[in-house]
Amino acid sequence: MVWACGEFTRVRRRVITAYKDHGRADLAGSLADDLAMAVAALLRVDPRHLDRAWLDNSVLLVPAPSSGASRRARGEAPIDRLAERTADRLPGRVGAAPVRWW
């Protein structure tokens, strides 16, 4: 099952583009906080009020993979890093599983 945390509006597009394509690593914390809240809402849990034992099953955050060309041009995969930071903000067995195009 695939979920999006919101509409790809003009503001959201500009923030994500700045993070991904213009080296705005300073946006990672805020983006991870927002994404963690969206995942928690999806799971019907507020991570600020629960300990790490609430989750009985594992959840994987799987970012849409960057193309090989984009990864080479950036020198990294910022969305993979964002998924990892988001997983760190959520209680329970939440992890990030980046996908690679070979």
Say yes or no to pLDDT of 8 above 80: no
For 49-73, what is the mean pLDDT? 69
For 27-33, what is the mean pLDDT? 94
For 49-60, what is the mean pLDDT? 58
Q: Report the run of H or E that residue 65 belongs to, with start and end.
A: none
Listed ranges 14-23, 52-61, 65-74; the one with the highest mean pLDDT: 14-23
The contacts of residue 93 (CB under 8 Å, 6+ apart) are: 55, 57, 58, 59
For 72-99, what is the mean pLDDT? 86
Q: Left if phi > 0, otherwise alpha if psi is -120 to 50, otherwise beta: which for 92?
A: left
Higher per-residue confidence, 102 vs 84:
84
